[in-house]
Amino acid sequence: MEKKAATVELEIKLRLPDDIAREAASGGLLEPDSLESMLREELRRRRVDGLFAAADRLAALPIPPLTEAELDSEIQAARARRQRPHARRR
């Protein structure tokens, strides 16, 4: 069963050029569902950008890459942590 997320009601005031406001309104872009969809997509895009930025920073670190044996050991350790009954998930 999926838990429904709590909602918050916000009142937002936008200052847009008249032509943009008319076109957005006529295209339904100022409706709550459209705004929610655009916000969700932008949040997703920012999370992905953040992951790539973190990967770039990690790749730039002056540390040697893991050997295949070290990588396998890390994978096994992570799997073991997941299988613990009270493992904390992040």
Could you report the per-residue pLDDT of 26-81, keeping only the tens digit for each? Answer: 999 999 999 999 999 999 999 999 999 999 999 999 999 889 999 999 999 999 99
Whether residue 90 is contained in a domain is answered as no
Number of domains in the chain: 1
Residue 45, domain extent? 18-83
In a domain, 3, yes or no: no
8: in domain: no
- Any idea what DSSP says for residue 30? T
Residue 89 phi, psi (nearest 5): -100, 140
Q: What's the pLDDT at 4?
A: 80
Q: For residue 47, is it within any domain?
A: yes
Q: 3-19 as b/e, with b when 16 or more CB fall inside 10 Å?
A: eeeeeeeeeeeeeeeee
Judge whether 30 lies within some domain.
Answer: yes
| In 1-90, beta strands by DSSP E | none
The pLDDT of 10-26, averaged and rounded, is 96
Q: Is residue 57 part of a domain?
A: yes
| Domain membership flag for residue 10 | no
